[in-house]
């Protein structure tokens, strides 16, 4: 199994009482609540954690993109990736991912990834995402065209990476007379592309297609959904006439390890509960702007949500029970991760070992314990 | 009055349509929430006009062709609609998004129009006067912000839509986003072309509109030649519902003023 140390870089000094005077920790959260001096310290702590992950034996260190939010301080994740290239030697660096539909010229993304790939001599893994619904409020991009723009931007970026330039690109959203990337990517034919997703059947089919075979990551889902989506990918691959390899499959999850189950729960509680209730939680209208998903899947989501009833505060115990987070002694954590690996055959585990307000000291211990007590047992 | 509901096909697009009354043709273009039920407001207009209320392509049960990607496309569709109908004197009334469509149509080709009445139209932007963000509002905020008189909002919130109604509302919300999300509820080019509206124009606005502030009315008045601007007091973004009597009366009075007067036979001058 391959291990990714993934970071969201939340703004931990957030005044949570002030946060709840606003409809979300996103888009409308006044940026007066951000203190640059505290924020700068956060960046340093997090860069430290990411580079430490390499020393602890993680195969991949990973960052991602979110806008106008305390949930993650990386509107430009490639800047962090660039810093990480300088601080590390052999770990792969994954940007999971860039939100393609949000830019007006996807060539910018193709260029930046190509630069990072050259700077790192081929240590880059790219992630292509649409961004969550909130992002469409933050950027003004029309969610109705999100899928279209994603597909078109993907086609443009891959063409820019692989087709000899200059050539012209003629699309609906993007039209360029000259596509001619300098520099070209370091890896051949191009850096790996991963697709982190909440899991929609359209995305799974698209990622699994033989001409792509992109690694599919299920993010922020309970164990049943992780198993269902990853097996759906396997099933799709079979329908395409091939067997998906474990490297094509992965899932992402907050993980916390301490010497006993009880201690793990106690130490992880604030981090997990703030992650879900204070940083991530947003109203439906922000999360699901019209057109962000197809009409049919939006109707489905609404039905599921109705059946679940009014959204209550997420408690650690519930999140543990559904397997959305994995918290416990090394043995508990090993067993749970092993079970999901067996159920899915996935070879990629993307761990989030810092989450919510979890402080540096506990994060460091969590990382060390995970690396010493969990990782070796799952390494096949 | 009972209105007739039927389907109407122009080229390859079939839309739902409500129809009632007799007289010169009046077409009402609905707002972003979709085709309303037949309202008392329509009854008042239908007393003197043949009122048609089409459901825009992409909304509700009308066809939604993928190629219809912006308000300009919808306006061109309605030009086809008018040509197919063949009438030379159509009174166009548009509310909010419908007002925007009507204005886009009028600047393109107004040869079949006799008059234009815009009720709190979207379509242009007044810098420094922010509009409400209907896409971020919760259902409760939306109801409260659309009406001045909160009893209307309470009534709206007390209703639980059927599954079918909820599905239609979602379809409408999708199409509204397609047309109005970016730039938010306006076309930067439209204001430049409003001098090309050659027909008598009335602009009505709810004085307490929290979605598109009534300060927008003045700019319409400046840009559309000869446009008459009137505010309706104690009224939010839906004058045809919240102040239906006053709104219908103002429109009827305006329509009377633009009616073709029977020509008096001119006394022949004998040489």
Q: What is the pLDDT of residues B75-84, one digit of tens each?
A: 999 999 999 9
Of the candidates B204, B201, B224, B185, the one whose C-alpha atom is nearest the C-alpha of residue B119 is B204
pLDDT tens profile B150-159: 999 999 999 9
The tokens for A218 are: 């299920």
Confidence of residue B259 (pLDDT cuts 50, 70, 90): confident
The tokens for A134 are: 């909130």
Q: Are B209 and B237 in contact (CB under 8 A)?
A: yes
- Say if the Cβ atoms of B182 and A142 lie within 8 Å: yes
What is d(CA B133, CA A34) in angstroms, rounded to the nearest whole number? Answer: 24
**pLDDT above 60: residue B61:** yes
Average pLDDT for A161-183: 98
Lowest mean pLDDT among A300-304, A375-379, B175-179: A300-304
Q: A302 in contact with B at a CB cutoff of 8 Å?
A: yes
Q: Rg of chain A's alpha carbons, rounded to an integer?
A: 20
- Say if the Cβ atoms of A28 and B170 lie within 8 Å: no
Buried b (16+ CB within 10 A) or exposed e, A8-47: bbbbbebeeeebeeebbbbbbbeeebeeeeebeebeebbb
Confidence of residue B265 (pLDDT cuts 50, 70, 90): low
Confidence of residue B260 (pLDDT cuts 50, 70, 90): confident
Confidence of residue A301 (pLDDT cuts 50, 70, 90): confident
pLDDT of residue B264: 65
Confidence of residue B188 (pLDDT cuts 50, 70, 90): very high
Number of CB atoms found within 10 A of residue B56's CB: 28
Which residues does chain B have within 8 Å of residue A142's beta carbon, measured at their own beta carbons? 177-178, 181-182
Residue at token pair 């939604």: B64
Burial of A335 (0-12, 13-18, 19+ CB in 10 A): middle
Backbone φ and ψ of A287, nearest 5°: -70, -35
Confidence of residue A158 (pLDDT cuts 50, 70, 90): very high
For B172, nearest residue in chain A (alpha carbons): A290
If contacts are CB pairs under 8 Å, which of residues 172-211 in chain B contact chain A? 173-174, 176-178, 181-184
Q: Are A162 and A182 in contact (CB under 8 A)?
A: no
Average pLDDT for B58-62: 97
- Say if the Cβ atoms of A144 and B181 lie within 8 Å: yes
**pLDDT above 90: residue A12:** yes
What is d(CA A113, CA A158) in angstroms, rounded to the nearest whole number? Answer: 11
**pLDDT above 80: residue A309:** no
The tokens for A179 are: 């596509």
Which residues are CB-neighbours of B32 under 8 A, at least 6 positions away?
B96, B97, B122, B134, B172, B176, B179, B180
pLDDT of residue B263: 66
pLDDT tens profile B72-128: 999 999 999 999 999 999 999 999 999 999 999 999 999 999 999 999 999 999 999
Task: Give the Å distances, CA to CA, from A253 to A31, A36, A287, A333, B147.
Answer: 28, 29, 20, 12, 45
Confidence of residue A256 (pLDDT cuts 50, 70, 90): very high
Average pLDDT for A356-377: 98
Of B166, B181, B184, the CB nearest to A143: B181
What is d(CA B224, CA B115) in angstroms, rounded to the nearest whole number? Answer: 12
Q: Are A212 and A206 in contact (CB under 8 A)?
A: yes
For testing the chain B interface, which of A103, A292, A295 should be mutated: the one with the most B CBs within 10 Å?
A: A295
- The distance of A144 to chain B (nearest Cα, Å) reads 5
Q: Hey, which bits of B35-189 come out as E strands?
A: 49-54, 90-95, 113-119
Residue at token pair 């909002």: B153
State chain B's mean pLDDT as an integer. 95
Of B137, B174, B184, the CB nearest to A290: B174
Q: A28 in contact with B at a CB cutoff of 8 Å?
A: yes
Q: B70 in contact with A at a CB cutoff of 8 Å?
A: no
Which residues does chain B have within 8 Å of residue A23's beta carbon, measured at their own beta carbons? 136
Which residues does chain A have within 8 Å of residue B137's beta carbon, measured at their own beta carbons? 285
Of B138, B177, B184, the CB nearest to A283: B138
For B182, nearest residue in chain A (alpha carbons): A142
pLDDT of residue A220: 86
Q: At what angle do helices B150-158 and B139-146 cross, to 10 degrees?
A: 150
Average pLDDT for A287-293: 95
- The distance of A19 to chain B (nearest Cα, Å) reads 17
Average pLDDT for A327-349: 97
pLDDT of residue B218: 97
What is d(CA A2, CA B52) in angstroms, rounded to the nearest whole number? Answer: 64
Cis amide linkage into residue A259, ω under 30° from 0? no
Lowest mean pLDDT among A28-32, A135-139, A298-302: A298-302
pLDDT of residue B225: 97
For B166, nearest residue in chain A (alpha carbons): A299
For B136, nearest residue in chain A (alpha carbons): A285
- Reduce the DSSP state of residue B125 to 3 states and report it: coil
pLDDT of residue A57: 98
Residue at token pair 């700068």: A40
Q: B161 in contact with A at a CB cutoff of 8 Å?
A: no
Confidence of residue A306 (pLDDT cuts 50, 70, 90): confident
pLDDT tens profile A106-148: 999 999 999 999 999 999 999 999 999 999 999 999 999 999 9
- Say if the Cβ atoms of B167 and A28 lie within 8 Å: no
State chain A's mean pLDDT as an integer. 96
Q: B64 in contact with A at a CB cutoff of 8 Å?
A: no
pLDDT of residue B270: 54
* End-to-end CA separation in angstroms for chain B: 55
Confidence of residue B44 (pLDDT cuts 50, 70, 90): very high
- The distance of B173 to chain A (nearest Cα, Å) reads 6
Global confidence as pTM: 0.95
What is d(CA A34, CA A11) in angstroms, rounded to the nearest whole number? Answer: 8
Confidence of residue B266 (pLDDT cuts 50, 70, 90): low
């Amino acid at each position: 199994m391959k291990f990714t140390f993934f970071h969201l870089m939340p703004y931990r000094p957030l005044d949570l009482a002030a946060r709840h005077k606003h409809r979300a920790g996103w888009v409308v959260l006044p940026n007066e609540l951000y203190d640059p001096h505290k924020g700068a310290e956060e960046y340093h702590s997090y860069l430290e954690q990411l580079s430490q992950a390499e020393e602890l034996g993680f195969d991949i260190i990973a960052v991602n993109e979110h806008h106008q939010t305390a949930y993650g301080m990386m509107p430009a994740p490639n800047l962090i990736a660039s810093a990480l290239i300088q601080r590390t030697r052999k770990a792969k660096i994954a940007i999971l991912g860039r939100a393609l539909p949000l830019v007006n010229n996807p060539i910018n993304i193709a260029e930046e990834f190509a630069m990072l790939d050259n700077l790192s001599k081929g240590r880059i893994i790219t992630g292509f995402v649409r961004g969550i619904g909130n992002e469409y409020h933050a950027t003004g991009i029309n969610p109705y065209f999100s899928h279209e723009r994603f597909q078109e931007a993907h086609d443009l970026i891959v063409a820019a990476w692989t087709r000899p330039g200059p050539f012209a690109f003629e699309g609906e959203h993007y039209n360029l007379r000259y596509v001619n990337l300098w520099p070209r990517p370091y890896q051949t034919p191009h850096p790996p592309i991963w697709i982190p997703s909440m899991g929609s059947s359209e995305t799974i089919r698209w990622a699994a297609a033989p001409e792509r075979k992109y690694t599919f990551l299920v993010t922020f889902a309970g164990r049943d959904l992780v198993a269902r989506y990853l097996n759906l990918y396997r099933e799709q691959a079979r329908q395409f006439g091939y067997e998906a390899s474990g490297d094509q499959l992965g899932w992402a999850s907050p993980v916390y390890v301490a010497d006993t189950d009880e201690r793990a729960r106690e130490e992880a509680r604030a981090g997990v509960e703030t992650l879900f209730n204070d940083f991530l939680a947003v109203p439906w209208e922000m999360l699901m702007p019209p057109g962000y998903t197809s009409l049919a899947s939006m109707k489905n989501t609404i039905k599921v949500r109705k059946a679940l009833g009014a959204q209550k505060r997420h408690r650690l115990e519930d999140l543990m029970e559904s397997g959305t987070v994995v918290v416990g002694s090394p043995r508990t954590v090993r067993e749970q991760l092993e079970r999901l690996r067996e159920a899915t055959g996935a070879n990629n585990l993307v761990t989030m070992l810092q989450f919510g307000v979890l402080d540096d000291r506990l994060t460091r211990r969590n990382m060390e314990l995970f690396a010493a007590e969990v990782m070796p047992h799952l390494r096949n | 009055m009972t209105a007739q509901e039927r389907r109407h096909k122009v080229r390859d697009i079939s839309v739902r349509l409500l129809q009632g009354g007799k007289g010169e043709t009046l077409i009402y273009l609905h707002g972003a929430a979709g085709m309303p039920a037949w309202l008392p407001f329509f009854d008042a207009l239908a007393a003197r006009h043949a009122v048609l209320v089409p459901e825009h392509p992409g909304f509700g049960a009308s066809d939604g062709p993928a190629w219809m990607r912006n308000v300009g496309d919808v306006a061109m569709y309605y030009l086809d609609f008018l040509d197919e109908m063949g009438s030379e004197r159509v009174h166009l009334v548009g509310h909010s998004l419908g007002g925007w469509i009507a204005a886009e149509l009028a600047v393109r080709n107004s040869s079949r129009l006799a008059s234009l009445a815009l009720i709190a139209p979207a379509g242009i932007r007044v810098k420094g006067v922010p509009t409400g963000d209907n896409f971020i509002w919760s259902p409760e905020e939306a109801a409260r912000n659309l009406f001045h008189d909160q009893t209307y909002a309470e009534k709206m919130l007390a209703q639980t839509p059927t599954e079918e109604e909820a599905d239609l509302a979602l379809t409408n919300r999708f199409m509204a986003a397609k047309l109005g999300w970016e730039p938010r509820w306006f076309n930067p080019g439209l204001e430049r072309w409003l001098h090309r509206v050659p027909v008598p124009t009335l602009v009505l606005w709810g004085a307490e509109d929290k979605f598109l502030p009534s300060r927008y009315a003045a700019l319409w008045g400046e840009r559309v030649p000869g446009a008459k601007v009137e505010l309706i007091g104690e009224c939010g973004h839906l004058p045809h519902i919240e102040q239906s009597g006053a709104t219908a009366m103002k429109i009827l009075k305006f329509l009377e003023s633009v009616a073709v007067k029977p020509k008096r036979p001119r006394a022949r001058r004998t040489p």
